[in-house]
Amino acid sequence: MVTIGMNYRVIPGKNEEFEDKFRAVLVALNAGEDHEQSNLFKDIDDEDSYLIVSNWVTLEAFQAFIQSEGFKEVTSHGMANLLAERPRHKVYKH
């Protein structure tokens, strides 16, 4: 199993829209093969900083998911209109 930590910095004022977008991403995540669970966390000291923690059976399953059309469809808008910078992802193996 692997856990993926995905760090996002949102453009100030776009928080609610980002959170709504995450709900759409969550639907796509839950449809992903070998996806176990994902959660969104908001930094209590920086309201524009978020962490998505996503558990997958294998790293390959996660990599296949982020290359999928379903993932690209729900995230293409967010990159240009919601995020202040490029997301940072880190992989943790169990």
Delineate the domains of the chain, giving CATH numbers in brackets. Answer: 2-93 (3.30.70.100)
29-33's contacts with Cβ under 8 Å and 24+ in sequence apart are 29/54, 29/65, 31/70, 32/56, 32/61, 32/65, 32/68, 32/70, 32/71, 33/61, 33/64, 33/65
Provide the pLDDT for residue 38.
Answer: 94
Tens-digit pLDDT profile for residues 59-91: 999 999 888 887 777 677 656 789 999 889 999
List, for residues 1-57, the tens digit of each pLDDT value: 999 999 999 999 999 999 998 888 888 888 878 999 999 999 999 999 999 999 999
Query: Model pTM?
Result: 0.85
* Cα diameter, the chain: 36
